[in-house]
Amino acid sequence: MILIIGAGSVGSNLAADLAESNDVVVIDRNADLVDELRSQHDVTGVVGDGRSAATLREAGIDRAEIVVASTDSDAANVMVCNAAKQAGDPHTIARVKEVGLFETWQSLDEGLGVDTMLCIDKLAAEAVVRTIALPGAHAVDTFADDQVEVAEFEIGEDTPITGQSVAEADRYASTTFAAILRDDDVIIPTGETVIQSGDCVVVIGSLASISRFAEDVSAQQPLKSEDDIVIVGGDVLGYQIAQQFETRGWTPEIVERDPEQASQLTTRLRGSSVAETDVTNIGGFNPDVLTGADLVVGTVDDNTNYLLAQLAREFDVARTAAVVDNPEVVDLFEETGLDVIVHPEDIIVSEILRTIYEPSPEEVGVLGHDDAEVLEVLIDSESALAGKALRDVTDQLPSGIVIGAIVRNEQLQIPRGNKIIQTGDRVIAFVDASVAAEVAELI
């Protein structure tokens, strides 16, 4: 049984993803949220405070194999994990905001009753920088201990592969065309599928091959060490993003309105500069910080980030990125033409699913799309793939799956039709969400 405490956006999305193939129980104080989950999905709902021993007992915490604490309170999430360890021996997962708490947990050798702690700001910062580092990518994720990369690129009118069939475009070593996202459809391509302007193409392959693909399909140039990077917002998230840039050799400028926070940033960062400006006051905002910028990253609130994206366009900033908190406005941000949009809740859901599936062992990435998933599966003797050539198992698997990469003995293998899958192989597959549970069970 999987027990989820907190039925907000993260908890609700987890429950929806897990309910089809798992016994899921959800706790939340909001009766309307609990009732909605009960009516829409096959879950058990308990109305109450997840910190209450009586509520946890009612939810069956002593039977839980996995406990996910995903409320908006870091302290409550740690408390729940501790209570779960007292009641049984589940794998506990806590979602936290405070980086200091995450670092304390790490220093205690992953203690506090929490087996897996996921810090939303650290994960969001890593996603922002990882995606920006790959020119033209809308989303990037890594698998198989960072040996395999999965990336999404939008195809323009002048892209070299526009108008070509997948067979014609398939000239990149160690790269597989996993899917085409066209309008609201996920297309699992064949060799005859024609790539159109406006499509988003998902490719899977080695880091080097995906980089070469990016250079060909993107009009953008990779960021250079001398490029001007402006991070708007110097709170914890902005600081984490700046740190990530510094580890890659870049020295961004952070724009922060609070004098004390700006002073702290100056002493904590190695080479980045800090400008004290009130970015939330758009009317009095000094646009000089945008002049000449090669990249602007918005980390403030959604409204300010949106206006900054518009201003950046007016000042001909080459690339723009934003962290968007409200899932309801993600589509609006996409319409602005932002190069990189990171929604932290999608990342947290993906990481929690990875942790839940890992004992299977499968890992899950969603690339920001609820209608598609990426599975990483360690092949055992029970798998439908074991000992068979890929072309021979086509009829045994649902149509909505593409094997994107095979890792054998830490070496990446190209997944062509004559490739025989062996036990011990690690397979990375792109899967239509509608068949993800069935595929995971088969392979």
pLDDT value, residue 410: 84
DSSP-derived secondary structure letter, 393: S
For the chain, the average pLDDT equals 87
Helix (H) or strand (E) holding 192: none
Domain ranges of the chain: 2-114, 137-217, 229-338, 353-441
- Tell me phi and psi for residue 382, to 5 degrees: -85, -10
- Cα separation, 93 vs 66, in Å, equals 8
DSSP-derived secondary structure letter, 389: B
Query: Which residues does residue 97 pair with via DSSP β-bridges, in sequence order?
Result: none
Q: Would you identify the CATH topology of the domain 2-114?
A: Rossmann fold (3.40.50)
pLDDT of 286 higher than 80: no
Query: Which residues does residue 266 pair with via DSSP β-bridges, in sequence order?
Result: none
- 353-441 matches 137-217 in CATH topology: yes
Residues 6+ apart with CB under 8 A from 153: 136, 137, 138, 200, 201, 203, 213, 214, 217, 218
- 368-412 tens-digit pLDDT: 555 677 888 888 888 888 888 888 877 778 788 888 889 988 888
pLDDT value, residue 10: 92
Q: Which structure tokens are listed for 208?
A: 């080097």
The SS3 call for residue 392 is helix
**What's the average model confidence in pLDDT over 5-26?**
91
- 159-211 tens-digit pLDDT: 889 999 999 998 888 889 989 988 878 888 888 999 999 899 999 999 889 99
**What's the average model confidence in pLDDT over 66-72?**
95
What is the CATH number assigned to the segment(s) 137-217? Answer: 3.30.70.1450
Helix (H) or strand (E) holding 212: helix 207-217
- 296-329 tens-digit pLDDT: 999 999 998 998 888 888 888 888 999 999 888 8
What is the CATH number assigned to the segment(s) 229-338? Answer: 3.40.50.720
- Cα separation, 235 vs 245, in Å, equals 15
- The single-letter code of the amino acid at 49 is D
Question: 239 — alpha (psi -120 to 50), left (phi > 0) or beta?
Answer: alpha
What architecture (CATH level 2) is domain 353-441? 2-Layer Sandwich (3.30)
Residue 221's Cα: distance from chain center in Å? 24
Label residue 366 by pLDDT band (50, 70, 90): low
